[in-house]
Amino acid sequence: MKTKLFFILPIMALVLSSCLKTIEKPPRIELEEFFKNPEKAYFKISPNGQYISYTAPYESRMNIFIQEIGQDSINQITFETDRDIAGYIWANDNRVLYVKDEGGNEDYKLFGVDIDGENLKCLTCFPGVRTTLIDDLEDNPSEVLIGLNKRSAQVFDPYRLNIETGEMVMLAENPGNIVGWITDHDGNLRAAYAITDGVNQTLLFRDNEEEDFREVLTTSWRDKFNLHFFTFDNEKLYVSSNLGRDKEEIVIFDPNTGEEVESLYKNEEVDVNGLHYSRKRKVLLAASYTTDKRQYHFFDEAARQRHEFLQQELPGYEIGISATDTAEKKFIVRTFSDRSRGAYYIYNSETKELNKIADISPWLNEDHLAEMKPISYQSRDGLTIHGYLSLPVGYEAKNLPVVINPHGGPWHRDTWRFNPEVQFLANRGFAVLQMNFRGSTGYGKEFWLKSVKQWGRTMQDDITDGVNWLIDQGIADPERIAIYGGSYGGYATLAGLTFTPDVYACGVDYVGVSNMFTFMNTIPPYWEPLRELFYELVGDPEADSLLLAEVSPVFHADKITAPLFIAQGANDPRVNKAESDQMVEALKARGIEVEYMVKDNEGHGFHNEENRFDFYRAMEKFLAHHIGDSVTVSK
């Protein structure tokens, strides 16, 4: 199984620098340039190092292309026109596997195709069934391990799949509570995660595939214990764990004793939850973690030297290795920053040659885009809330129109990266504040637990406190503040307009939850094993019915006074269309201004390029009308 200090400027220094240094306003960038498909993206390299692959637009949909290294000819091997390819891998030197769904329903099907475009086959085209990848079995060129909820919609069973014939064999039957399967370095199914008592997690383990799984360790839902991969002798496990402490650290865990036997790296400030290794050399490379930016602690000197060389050659950008050949001689290097989608390079470790192979969005000039400044502020109950502030280029940081942009999840976090939404809004003259409110991941157990049953309560207070901080700093015009978010961020938008109606001039809800009761009754069937855990985190519809009613915006629509724009995918399996429908109905019944956009061929977010254009064009006009200052909108 593979895993894939920035200095915080005092805000007054940030404001003063804006005042002392005159920067011309950048040209107005066309909306489509932010949201159109990349020119080329998701580069990978064949196992033998002979070919590179990537996705690129074909009839406005992202498809797969193959190019021999050192040659000019390019071969398109897929021709999907209804939906972007959601992801792909090299199965062997001659065959590529990819997944796609239908209209955003997230029932992903697995397809195989040869690198000359021949022998296209759907390998898991079962109605209403979702495919997950367990192990690509790099040492077995004809098979992969996948998970399918074919036998039961609620759980995934593991299968060994022949990628040529489509023949598959079930390796184990999910008893109904296993939510993850883990293989060793030889591709043997050796471990699993089960949900016990509806909420707690149990690690199951076996010494070989002939044995039954045995229970090794049960952890509370309050703790994190995430297995990365086996040690290279296939005996122990590398884990990120916060058992008995606040922050996750990288440890070695012995399944025979059920104990952590060695701590490899920890950070006092944040969780350490990334781990990288060399499959060929069988050594750990680095642990990764995120403060304001991504950081690495290297275990391997060759990896450290390679990273330092790449950082020296590509200064100012985040750098990551996104793919390598089996021999680990050729590497695909990906760069990005807050103002650039970045580029892909190919690095030859033998010759030390580094060659650019593609810019992702060459039409965007990063000199015209906004810096994403790390900031922090105090919540009303004394927590430090970290976030990022993007100020429009060429504007004085004073009395600006602002878009508050809470992230989705909510058990996720914003990071320093290129965000097309943020850059689009900044180019239109809006400041954008993103905050990692309580419950955001990476800041330790205590910070995360403070979000338990706090949707619409202290989690929302953290967002409101960010607004007040911006006003106190003189950056925000208190009369021109909007809130916009997707998924949980959409819920936070509705909660913001409902529970703090005097704070926001308008809001944009993108596939957000409005009714906690109907939301929980329409979750995807494969989330069913996690239902009781969700009740612990958010609230039980029966035991906590009063709480959930209090924080469901749809029941308090009468408090909304600000204009609202709602966007929804008709096929959304996570946040059902009824969430948006009932909110729109409640507002219209009260005569509140509400715009409503529904896309019939989308799910949880708009992936088709033309739908993205429609959504952001409508959002641009909406924001310009309600908080803009003579803003010119796209046609």
pLDDT in tens, 288-305: 999 999 999 999 999 999
Residue-by-residue DSSP string for 45-105: E-TTSSEEEEEEEETTEEEEEEEETT---EEE-----SS---EEEE-SSSEEEEEE-STT-
Mean pLDDT of 328-353: 96
Name the DSSP letter for residue 8. Answer: -
Residue 109 lies in a domain: no
Q: What is the pLDDT of residue 633?
A: 52
User: Which are the catalytic amino acids?
Assistant: 487, 572, 604
Residue 101 within a domain: no
Helix, strand or coil, per DSSP, at residue 180: strand
Strands ordered across the beta sheet of 476-486: 372-378, 384-390, 431-436, 400-404, 476-486, 506-510, 564-569, 594-599
Least confident of 15-24, 267-276, 313-322: 15-24
Domain check: are 387 and 511 in the same one?
A: yes
- Residue 13's pLDDT is 39
Contact 464, 500 (CB under 8 A): yes
Same domain, 20 and 130: no
Task: List the one residue out of 475, 438, 476, 470 whose CA is nearest residue 457.
Answer: 438
pLDDT above 70 coverage of the chain, percent:
95
User: Tokens for 587?
Assistant: 């507002």
The tens digit of pLDDT for each residue in 407-460 reads: 999 999 999 999 999 999 999 999 999 999 999 999 999 999 999 999 999 999
The C-alpha atoms of residue 230 and residue 184 are separated, in whole angstroms, by: 6
Q: Does residue 313 sit within a domain? A: no
Q: Which amino acid is at 412?
A: H
Q: Is residue 105 within 8 Å of 127, Cβ to Cβ?
A: no
Strand ranges, E, within 391-430: 400-404
Q: Residue 265 domain-assigned? A: no
Indicate the Cα dihedral angle 473, 476, 479, 481, nearest 10°: -130
CA distances from 253 to 202, 204, 385, 401, 418 (A): 14, 13, 33, 51, 36
Instruction: Report which residue type is found at 244.
Output: G
How far apart, in whole angstroms, are the C-alpha atoms of residue 51 and residue 66?
7
Question: Per residue in 505-559, pLDDT tens?
Answer: 999 999 999 999 999 999 999 999 999 999 999 999 999 999 999 999 999 999 9
Report yes or no on 104 lying in a domain: no
Alpha-carbon distances, residue 513 vs 47, 112, 456, 519, 576 (angstroms): 43, 36, 11, 7, 8
Strand 178-183 versus strand 189-196 pairing type: antiparallel
- Give the pLDDT band of residue 634 (cuts 50, 70, 90): low
Is cis: bond before 26, omega within 30 of 0? no
pLDDT surpasses 60 at 1: no
Q: How far apart are CA 496 and CA 605, in angstroms?
A: 21
C-beta separation of 314 from 329 below 8 A: no
Report whether 335 contacts 317 (CB < 8 A).
Answer: yes
Of 181, 206, 222, the domain-final residue: 222
Coil, strand or helix: which one is 439?
A: coil
Which of 384-398, 411-425, 619-633 comes out lowest in average pLDDT?
A: 619-633
Give the long-range contacts of residues 243-248, CB within 8 A, separation 24 or more. 243/219, 245/445, 246/444, 246/445, 246/446, 247/271, 247/272, 247/444, 247/445, 248/224, 248/272, 248/273, 248/444
Find out whether 358 and 416 touch, Cβ atoms under 8 Å. Answer: no
pLDDT for residue 19: 39
Q: How confident is the model at residue 317 (pLDDT cuts 50, 70, 90)?
A: very high
CATH number where 417 lies: 3.40.50.1820
Range of the domain at 449: 11-24+365-627
Residues whose CB is less than 8 angstroms from the CB of residue 19 and which lie 6 or more positions away in sequence, other chains included: 396, 397
Angle at 35 between CA 30 and CA 39, to 5 degrees: 100
Which phi and psi (to 5°) does residue 564 adopt? -135, 140
Residue 30 falls within a domain, yes or no?
A: no
Q: 189, 222, 255: which is the final residue of a domain?
A: 222
Half-sphere exposure of 113 (CA within 13 A, CB side): 22
For the cut 60, the answer to whether the pLDDT of residue 474 exceeds it is yes
Tens of pLDDT, residue by residue over 12-67, are 334 434 433 456 899 999 999 999 999 999 999 999 999 999 999 999 999 999 99
**What was the pLDDT predicted at 12?**
38
- Give the angle subtended at the CA of 158 by the CAs of 156 and 161, to the nearest 5°: 125
Q: Are residues 18 and 129 in the same domain?
A: no
Residue 27: burial class (beta carbons within 10 Å; 0-12, 13-18, 19+): exposed
Same domain, 165 and 20: no
The pLDDT of residue 145 is above 80: yes
Residues 16 and 164 in one domain: no
pLDDT band with cut points at 50, 70 and 90 for residue 579? very high
Q: Which has the minimum average pLDDT: 245-249, 381-385, 586-590?
A: 586-590
Strand 343-348 and strand 353-359: the pairing is: antiparallel
Q: Which of 166, 189, 222 is the last residue of a domain?
A: 222
Residues in the chain: 635
Tell me what pLDDT residue 492 has: 98
Q: Quick one: average pLDDT of 176-192?
A: 97
Q: What is the pLDDT of residue 6?
A: 29
Looking at residue 22, its pLDDT comes to: 53
Asked, for residue 269, whether it belongs to a domain, the answer is: no
Number of domains in the chain: 2
Q: Flag whether 540 is in a domain.
A: yes
